[in-house]
Homo-oligomer: A and B are copies of this chain.
């Protein structure tokens, strides 16, 4: 994801409940859907004890639009009911970045 600052990052940290209950399918489907949204720039994920997903967006408007997307709203509801024991969402302005590559 190469993009000049400023842009936005949404840091989604979470704890999962026991069992899959359709979680893996939903996660793949939400990633596909996010990529189709206006203003989407990229997404990175890892899960060990906790899960961290960071998605990157052109603007606050793009983030607000994605939050209200119909299928995503359904996933948010099911997330609270079935998949997560907790989560936290942080909306951030990316002010600067630097990178290293071998």
Contacts and interface: CB of A to CB of B under 8 A. Distances in A.
A81 to B, nearest CB: 10
Contact of A48 (B47, B92, B95, B98): B47
A96 interface: yes
A97 B87 contact: no
Nearest to A87: B100
Of the four ranges (under 10, 10 to 19, 20 to 34, 35 or more), the interface on chain A belongs to: 20 to 34
A74 interface: no
Contact of A46 (B48, B87, B89, B91): B48
Contact of A99 (B46, B86, B99): B86
A92 B94 contact: yes
Contacts of A90: 9, 94, 96-97
A45 to B, nearest CB: 7
Shortest beta-carbon contacts, A-B, top 8: A92-B92, A46-B46, A46-B48, A88-B99, A86-B101, A90-B97, A52-B52, A93-B93
